[in-house]
């Protein structure tokens, strides 16, 4: 296929819109179902690069959940604990590694993943398709689909779910071009391969970097490579748990991503896990109610006349003191940044969310201040020397 007409551009008034190869060759993807739009394809191509890189770096199936050209979550297929199965509404599911990767990616920030674009590093199997079937999602990209998986996915959205198949052998030109306001831009494609060779320069007093932390550092850096800058992410146990994207200030990225990591951890709290939802409240309703329940506005779901619409009985309040104490139990997180941290305040904020390991390019005139902050908290910090801005 030389050209793919799209539903519309970024907005419905931006027509016509299309995908095409500037050199006249065939497109590296095909539409198996649905009618993709411009933003769908931006999400698809960015998310595909992310999961492909994660797969190559970890030798494990990987998945991403994208919204507006940045990941809400990304993960590899590590097994779920019983608590995680409950958190992600998968208590009764028998999941393949690829399905587990998507459940983790989606579970990093279930509120932001609503209506996501899913990316899968491996051929989509029936297990993964069954997970996708029950989530609100705009589309999926993968290198292939089993017959059973394709049949399941084609039933989504009344048969209109967008399914893209990517050529796993496709490699882009080393020169990429775009046009903005009629002006052409050209640069080298960012083909840097992120691996453990980038984790050799440890600049803190503490140099104890276990293999699990190295793996999570790679996940952080690869995720950030395909996240709109400025960007920061927190990673634990093979998945992102908080991504802060597109902020003008790095400390705002660190706060935003840290707040998301705190929310992810609060969802482990027994009071949250055991909220007595009515049977008819679906996943989306539960996600929204949980988000409000653990926020300072919890009265919005616990007020008289409101809780009866969600719960079989009125839940106990999760107090601010309880939340603070629970967050303090979070440990051993990785913090990654796409560019250097200009001040130690980023480290101080990250410490409050349980960060133990930090990976960043380094190169700030205040690196000594950032290193000192990390040393004060006995963190391990690597300088990669590789900036990962993405726009």
Active site residues: 67-68, 230, 391
DSSP state of 9: S
DSSP states of 69-94 as a string? TEEEEEEE-PPPPHHHHHHTT-TT--
d(CA 163, CA 29): 10
Alpha carbon 119 to chain centroid distance? 11
65 close to 74: Cβ distance less than 8 angstroms = yes
Q: How far apart are CA 203 and CA 382, in angstroms?
A: 6
Integer Cα distance of 278 and 110 in angstroms: 20
d(C-alpha 212, C-alpha 189), whole Å? 30
Q: Which residues are CB-contacts of 39 (< 8 A; sequence separation ≥ 6)?
A: 10, 68, 69
Residue 365 to residues 342, 343, 368, 369: CA-CA distances in angstroms?
8, 9, 8, 9
- In 3D, which of 224, 247, 206 has the Cα closest to residue 386? 224
**Residue where the block lists tokens 């589309």:** 139
Phi and psi, residue 352, nearest 5°: -65, -20
How close are the terminal C-alpha atoms of the chain, in Å? 27
User: Angle at which helices 320-327 and 250-266 pack, to 10 degrees?
Assistant: 100
SS3 content of the chain, % helix, strand, coil (to 5): 35, 20, 40
Cα(157)–Cα(69) distance, rounded to whole angstroms? 22
């Amino acid at each position: 296929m030389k050209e793919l007409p799209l539903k519309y551009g970024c907005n419905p008034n931006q027509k016509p819109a299309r995908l095409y190869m500037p050199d006249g060759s065939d497109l590296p993807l095909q539409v198996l179902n649905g009618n993709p739009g411009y933003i769908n394809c931006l999400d698809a191509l960015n998310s595909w690069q992310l999961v492909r890189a994660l797969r190559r770096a970890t030798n494990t199936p990987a998945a991403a959940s994208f919204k507006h050209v940045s990941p809400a979550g990304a993960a590899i297929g590590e097994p779920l604990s019983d608590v995680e199965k409950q958190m992600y509404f998968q208590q009764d599911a028998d999941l393949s590694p690829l399905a587990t990767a998507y459940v983790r990616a989606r579970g990093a920030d279930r509120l932001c993943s609503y209506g996501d674009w899913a990316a899968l590093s491996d051929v989509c199997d029936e297990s993964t398709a069954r997970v996708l079937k029950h989530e609100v999602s705009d589309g999926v990209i993968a290198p292939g689909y089993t017959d059973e998986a394709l049949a399941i996915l084609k039933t989504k959205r009344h048969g209109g779910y967008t399914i893209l198949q990517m050529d796993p052998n496709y490699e882009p030109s080393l020169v990429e071009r775009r046009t903005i306001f009629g002006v052409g831009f050209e640069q080298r494609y960012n083909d840097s391969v992120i691996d453990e060779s980038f984790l050799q320069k440890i600049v803190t007093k503490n140099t104890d970097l276990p293999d699990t932390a190295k793996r999570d550092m790679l996940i952080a850096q690869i995720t950030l490579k395909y996240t709109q800058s400025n960007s920061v992410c927190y990673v634990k146990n093979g998945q992102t748990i908080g991504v802060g994207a597109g902020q003008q200030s790095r400390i705002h990225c660190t706060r935003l991503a840290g707040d998301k990591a705190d929310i992810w951890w609060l969802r482990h709290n027994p009071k949250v896990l055991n909220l007595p939802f009515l049977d008819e409240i679906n996943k989306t309703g539960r996600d929204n109610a949980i988000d409000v329940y653990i926020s300072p506005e919890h009265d919005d779901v616990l007020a008289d006349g409101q809780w009866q619409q969600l719960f079989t009985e009125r839940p106990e309040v999760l107090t601010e003191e309880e939340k603070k104490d629970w967050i303090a139990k979070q440990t051993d997180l990785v913090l990654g940044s796409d560019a250097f941290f200009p001040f130690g305040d980023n480290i101080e904020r990250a410490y409050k969310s349980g960060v133990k390991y930090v990976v960043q390019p380094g190169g700030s005139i205040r690196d000594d201040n950032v290193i000192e902050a990390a040393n004060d908290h006995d963190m391990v910090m690597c300088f990669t020397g590789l900036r990962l801005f993405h726009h």
